[in-house]
Amino acid sequence: MLGYIAVCDIYGNVDRVMGSIPSELAVRVENVGQLFKQTEQQSALLEKSDGRVVSVSVCAEYAGREGQRNAYAAAKNVGDRILFLLCDIEENEQLTRLMELYLSAAAQIHADKGKPSDYDQLQKINNQLINYQRGLARANERLKQLLEETREAKSTIDVLGRDPLTNLLTQTAFFENAKKLLREKPEQDFDIVAVDIERFKIVNDAFGAPQGDELLVRMAHFLQSVPAEGEALFARARADKFYAMVRRSEEFYGILRKKMALFEETYPLPMRLQIKIGVYAVEDREMEIVRMCDRAVLAADSIKGIYDREMAFYDDSLREKMMREQKIIDTMEESLQQGNFQVFLQPKVEIGTGKLIGAEALVRWDHPEYGMISPADFIPLFEKNDFIYNLDRFMWDKTCQIIEMWKNKFGSFVPISVNVSRKDLYHGDLPDVLTKLTANYHLNPSDLHLEITESAYVADSHQLLAVIGQLKQIGFVIEMDDFGKGYSSLNTLSELPIDILKLDMEFLKPGKNIMRRREIMRLVIDLATRLKLQVIAEGVETEEQRDLLKGMGCKYAQGYLYGKPMHREAFLRYLTGIYA
Amino acid sequence: MSLLQLDNDPQLQGIANEIFRQLFQQMPQLDEPAKRNIRQAIACNLGDICAALELEDNKLFTYSTGWFYRLLCPRMPSRTTEAIKDLILKGYDMFGAYAGKRIGPGKQKQLQERMRSAVAAAGREHENSSCASNDTEDSYGKEIQELLDCLLSSQIRDAIFLVSEYRKRGIPLEDIYVDITAGSMRRVGDMWHQYAISEAQEHYCTATAQLALAQFYPVIFRQERKRRKVLVACVGSELHEMGARMVADLFEYDGWDSIYLGAEVPIDSILSEAKRSGPDLLALSVTLPQHLLDCREAVRQARRRFPDMRLAVGGNAFSHTDDIWEEWEVDVYTKDARDLVKWADKAMG
């Protein structure tokens, strides 16, 4: 029998033998044409490839013992290939074998149809996944290494770091070196010193950045020139803040004070320099250096704005003060909402008769945790963080309420003065706010006196002039508060449209040059009178002071002698006593 | 003489199909996956002996025959060993007729003698040797068995945990790779060969083992760099790339930068990458003997193009040859990745 199933191209070249009987056909036949005795038959069959079964003469080589035979062949196009079949059986029993051959071929074709081993495919995919994971892990570690190298490089730069302007250490380098110094010299006591140039921004603003830089450079030289025993570290922490770490020594601070005073006085700048120094004595060496520096800064900050204090030493009370101040700030808004701020009133009287001529509205804070807090503790804070405007508006509103109520009750009433902070003056809507307020409560603007502290005038007289001018025009009465505490010039006094001068009795407190100060006070009262300004002496506590003021020609006073600041209910009773 | 590769030679494919057909007649109980499996084994075997003939390596010829014989024995339990040997010889006769045309009548007789003695040797070896190969030679026998138990019982998490435990116990990473994991993979391969596990199980074990090793990647890639580069690839249509990946991983662990191309990498691609990246060492891996010819060609071309580059070869295929690499222009053959890293460090500093 003959049985041959193969896949070939259009020329008969065999790609694959699916089965052959005898088996040597699979080996020997390279082109199906070899099987044909007549090549025309092969050509015809392959060209048509329509699956029709035809009879062909088999080549003698493969014909078997007979040497010549006919067989049946068919060719069918399958894609770009041809499926070729050739068979012939001599007896029916061979049919079984032939059918087996065909079934085997069919099974192969079925198995081959786009089905490579599933497991091989899975393994390929798995390999790829592992390779991707490997690639990602590699990239990830490379990235981590790069980041670490960058961090180390940055750290190295920081450790060696010098401020490019002053060549002092950078803050980071200072912290590292200070920590190292403490570790290396356990037997030695050290102090951390914080140095701050007050209002440095004005130097930059008024004289330009080069002047500002020059000041910083000279400051750096100055600090390094102060002789310090043993190791010392100096850093420019930021902007105009300097740190130093020095061996503890009283002598050092004595020299520092003297040299600092000379530096301030002789520095060639058309403004007075004010440098503040805070010192923290290192006790707990395990504390972070940054915290030590913060404490030194706290000490420096505690004397900010205080003219005659150039150096302060940290103690725990400062920290407690800081914590308390933070608490105040944390609770101020809530307190305002909840009505913990109250209006207290202190009477202003005519000295000779004791007649009530007015009152000053003063704020008191009944803090839910700390109880009554003095305005000296929270007003400066509120002025720093601008909450003062909110508080002042509250006070103005409450005061107007009181005036309206008492006007309605008593038919007429004395004016009440309210404090207007320097910060309030920078609010462009201030005149509108005050005008609307008085209108809401059916008051005249002159019912609400505005007390503006003397220091506000000094700060920015042009701005102040404009706003006060507006307020005066509207009809408000302007009082200059705390006259004598600051350094207002004669020019300021002549230019500002004030109506009332409030003199602080601090000026007459016993001390140096008291007689001189009394004469000056007398002159000021006289000057004010000539300028038709009302003068009220503030802080009158004793009869002796009263008599002194009377002798100077001062007609009006405010102080404990005439009444402490009292709650509105108490003031009402006070008033009832008067108006009864 | 150059015998064509099985993939490209339809006649060789025809022979493979015919051998399979005859075998299948003897094993009607086989299902489709098993049939496919055996067909692949036949193709693989023919590929191996083609390579053995081309390389003129008697040891490989004998090994390939023995491998095929040992594969068939457990799959044809109802047949005697003599019957199996006859089947193989019949198939080899067909192959001989095909090969004879190419190698010439003089060598054809030699080939047939070789085939007969290989089949006889395979039978003898099978009867004399025990089935558990090299178990007693493994230096981490206990750990290998532990890992194998996890792999065979499909406990992926346990397998991954176990491998990490080995490291915590202080076993060097190289030993985890080369001795424990590779050792357990060899046993998995043996078990499949012995028909003790299915193809599915064999692939599952491989995938799990790869996953278990992948957990070390953060450690492997974190090592200090040595500014040395190695290019690693599997030659030919290899699916068995774990060995090559182990080489790449252990070099990375040693501080080298590795360029790992994976499996089924054409020779052109290997050479092109070598030109681009300029590695200090090119390492080629071959698992199946039929791919040794591709490897030889890759070595030849690489040596011609990069005369100064160090070339290394390795992989399971080489261990069944008569040290065939000695005739190639390679710098070294090592039996495992650990040895190659040691050699490279010594040779290149």
The answer on pLDDT for A273 being more than 90 is no
Give the nearest chain B residue to A28 (CA atoms): B98
Q: Which of A28, A124, A137 is the closest to B217 by Cβ?
A: A137
Interface of A with B in 120-139 (CB under 8 A): 120, 122-124, 126-128, 130-131, 133-134, 137-138
The answer on pLDDT for A39 being more than 80 is no
Residue A149 at interface with chain B, using a CB cutoff of 8 Å = no
Inter-chain residue contact A19 with B207, CB threshold 8 Å: no
CA atoms within 13 A on the CB side of B332: 20
Chain B residue numbers touching A14 (CB-CB < 8 A):
10-11, 14
The answer on pLDDT for A22 being more than 60 is yes
The b-or-e profile of B228-264 (16+ CB within 10 A means b, else e) is: bbbbbbbbbebbbbbbbbbbbbbbbbbebbbbbbbbb
> Which residue, B320, B188, B333, B140, is CA-closest to B247?
B333
The band of B7, judged by pLDDT with boundaries at 50, 70 and 90, is low
User: Mean pLDDT over residues B11-22, rounded?
Assistant: 74
- pLDDT at position A473 is 92
Q: Which of B14, B18, B199 is the closest to A119 by Cβ?
A: B199
CA A248 to chain centre: 36
Inter-chain residue contact B17 with A18, CB threshold 8 Å: yes
Q: Give the count of Cβ contacts less than 8 A between chain A and B.
A: 103
Inter-chain residue contact A104 with B263, CB threshold 8 Å: no
Chain B residue numbers touching A15 (CB-CB < 8 A):
10
Task: Answer whether A278's CB lies under 8 Å from A299's CB.
Answer: yes
Chain A residue numbers touching B97 (CB-CB < 8 A):
24, 27-28
Interface of A with B in 1-30 (CB under 8 A): 6, 14-20, 23-24, 26-28, 30
Among A14, A34, A127, A129, which would you mutate to test the B interface (most chain B Cβ atoms within 10 Å of its Cβ)? A127
- pLDDT at position B65 is 87
Among A23, A128, A132, which would you mutate to test the B interface (most chain B Cβ atoms within 10 Å of its Cβ)? A23
CA dist., res. B227 & res. B219, Å (int): 18
Q: Which of A23, A30, A127 is the closest to B94 by Cβ?
A: A23
> Which residue, A366, A355, A423, is CA-closest to A392?
A423
Q: What is the DSSP letter of A8?
A: E
User: Mean pLDDT over residues B243-254, rounded?
Assistant: 96
Inter-chain residue contact A131 with B245, CB threshold 8 Å: yes
Residue B28 at interface with chain A, using a CB cutoff of 8 Å = no
The single residue listed with the structure tokens 């786009």 is A114
Inter-chain residue contact B11 with A30, CB threshold 8 Å: yes
Residue partners of A471: CB distance under 8 A and separation at least 6: A430, A431, A434, A445, A450, A478
B345 token code pair: 């460090």
Inter-chain residue contact B222 with A141, CB threshold 8 Å: yes
Residue B203 at interface with chain A, using a CB cutoff of 8 Å = yes
For the ranges A408-412, B78-82, B131-135, B327-331, the one whose mean pLDDT is highest: B327-331
The answer on pLDDT for A368 being more than 90 is no
A106-148 pLDDT, tens digit per residue, is 766 665 554 455 677 778 888 888 888 899 999 999 899 889 8
CA dist., res. B268 & res. A121, Å (int): 24
Task: Answer whether B288's CB lies under 8 Å from B315's CB.
Answer: no
Q: What angle do CA A238, A243, A247 make, to 5 degrees?
A: 170
Inter-chain residue contact A137 with B40, CB threshold 8 Å: no
Closest CA of chain A from B225, distance in Å = 10
The answer on pLDDT for A458 being more than 70 is no
A148-194 pLDDT, tens digit per residue, is 888 887 777 665 688 888 989 999 889 999 999 999 999 999 999 99
Average of per-residue pLDDT values in chain B: 85
Among A81, A83, A126, A149, which would you mutate to test the B interface (most chain B Cβ atoms within 10 Å of its Cβ)? A126
Give the nearest chain B residue to A121 (CA atoms): B239
The answer on pLDDT for B125 being more than 90 is no
The band of A19, judged by pLDDT with boundaries at 50, 70 and 90, is confident
Closest CA of chain A from B129, distance in Å = 31
The single residue listed with the structure tokens 């199906």 is A32
- pLDDT at position A67 is 58
A498-546 pLDDT, tens digit per residue, is 899 998 887 777 777 788 888 888 888 888 888 888 999 999 999 988 9
Inter-chain residue contact B221 with A6, CB threshold 8 Å: no
Whether the full predicted model's pTM is greater than 0.80, yes or no, is no
Q: Which of A24, A27, A123 is the closest to B239 by Cβ?
A: A123
CA dist., res. B57 & res. B118, Å (int): 12
Residue B97 at interface with chain A, using a CB cutoff of 8 Å = yes
- pLDDT at position A11 is 83
Inter-chain residue contact A137 with B18, CB threshold 8 Å: no
Report ipTM for this prediction: 0.84
Residue A34 at interface with chain B, using a CB cutoff of 8 Å = no
Inter-chain residue contact B241 with A127, CB threshold 8 Å: yes
Inter-chain residue contact B249 with A134, CB threshold 8 Å: yes
- pLDDT at position A304 is 85
CA B91 to chain centre: 23
